[in-house]
Amino acid sequence: MGLFKRSDTVRAKKIGAHARYVDEDIQRVDLKITSTDGETATVDLSLDQTRQLVIDLTNAYGACRPSLLDQKQIDRITSFFGMR
């Protein structure tokens, strides 16, 4: 899919995620990305990486579409992930 090629941008057609229980001390999140070409990549994320991804996506979405995120939603997201 070219996920790690610096010069290529991959347009996502479908994105999904699911939790994966490894053992009592290890939980992971698998982020599955399918490109418009039909190729699929799975990114194995720790819980800390998942938290940071949610924060970054929320901030990016809010910058692009601030009117679609009301303050109540932002407060709920930020408090859940300990951003405040």
pLDDT in tens, 42-76: 999 999 999 999 889 888 887 887 666 677 777 77
DSSP code for 83: -
Structural contact between residues 80 and 41, judged by C-beta atoms closer than 8 angstroms: no
Residue 29 clears pLDDT 80, i.e. is over it: yes
CA torsion, points 9, 32, 73, 84, in degrees to nearest 10?
-80
DSSP code for 14: E
pLDDT for 6 equals 60
Maximum Cα interatomic distance, the chain, rounded to a whole number of Å: 41
The residue to which tokens 């994966």 are assigned: 20
Q: What share of the chain is helix, strand, coil (3-state, %, to 5)?
A: 35, 35, 30
pTM of the full predicted structure? 0.68
